[in-house]
Amino acid sequence: MKCIEKAIPEELKDLVSCIMYMHEELPDKKKFIYYHPPTPQTGFCFHLNGNMSVLKKGFYKSETQPQTVVVGPQTSPVVIFSENPYSHVRVGLLPGALYRLTSISQVLMVDQSFDAAEIFGDDILGLNKELALTSEPEIILEAIVQFLIKLMPKSLKVHQLDAQMHSLWKDPNPKRICEIAKVCNLSLRQFERLSLLRLGMRPKLYEKIIRFSKAYSSVERKEYENWTDLAYKSNYYDQRHLKKEFKVFTGKQLAKLKEVVSQNSVLIHGQLRY
């Protein structure tokens, strides 16, 4: 898979985690399929070839996706399909960033995706037209960066909670939730309420999905020797704890999940930056 990561400009460094162009040509008559695990990372997906569809948990029919999608925090897996070569740009946002851009409580966006044009109107429609005129990754990425920079003056201010929750991603030995609340000068009740507003879920669930998401990335990249090794590397108590949490977030046993990952047309989750 061709993967190009765009450097984050200074203006976007408290908003954007990654901007990545991905392209994969498929053999004749082979459909693109990808099992996408739950992730707390919100963002934009720019589908450059069209005809992408998504099958959500609990549904029996897939939904055709708009050209540009705003993705809320995900607690359930989805399966992505396409009849065409896979080509898209993923903009991963930092904690709290989607709330800052939309002023929409993230509780309303959990396990949801929206046509970006319904939220950002003419700005997205103009960008979609611009992207349709080129197939050059560098031009596509720069156009998306300029779109994001234009949104900045209207965005809400960053809150200390956002940066502290991002530390759960970055730090190998992250703070406990009660310690983060104290750093933010919030009571646990205030911290939970603000977390629901800005992140879409309670802090403990957010912490669990981050841990799961890190571990799942390691599965895609094959950065583990066995399940016990993965458990300890990912801050689970033991293999049993890992197995239980993976079952909660994917509905699958570890052996079955490994089989599903091997059947993916591409590996996306392990490419993302947080």
Tell me if 2-157 shares its fold with 160-263: no
By the 10 Å C-beta count (0-12 exposed, 13-18 middle, 19+ buried), 115 is classed as middle
Alpha carbons 257 and 241: distance in angstroms, whole number: 16
Using CA atoms, how far residue 148 sits from 90, 122, 123, 124, in Å, is: 13, 14, 10, 10
The interaxial angle of helices 239-250 and 254-263, nearest 10 deg, is: 60
Tens digits of residue pLDDT in 107-123: 999 999 999 999 999 99
CATH number for domain 2-157, candidates 3.40.50, 1.10.8, 2.60.120, 1.10.10: 2.60.120
50 pLDDT more than 80: no
| Angle formed at CA 120 by CA 93 and CA 64, multiple of 5 degrees | 80
Residue with tokens 């970006």: 116
For the chain, percent of residues with pLDDT exceeding 70: 99
3-state secondary structure 129-188: HHHCCCCCHHHHHHHHHHHHHHHHHHCCCCCHHHHHHHHHHHCCCCCCHHHHHHHCCCCH
Cβ of 262: how many Cβ atoms within 10 Å?
Answer: 8
Are the C-beta atoms of residues 274 and 40 closer than 8 Å to each other? Answer: no
Give me the CATH code for the 160-263 domain, please.
Answer: 1.10.10.60
Write down the domain spans for the chain: 2-157, 160-263
Tens digits of residue pLDDT in 190-218: 999 999 999 999 999 999 999 999 999 99
59 pLDDT more than 90: no
Tens digits of residue pLDDT in 148-176: 999 999 999 999 999 999 988 877 677 88
222 pLDDT more than 70: yes
Q: Is 153 left (phi over 0), alpha (psi -120 to 50) or beta?
A: alpha
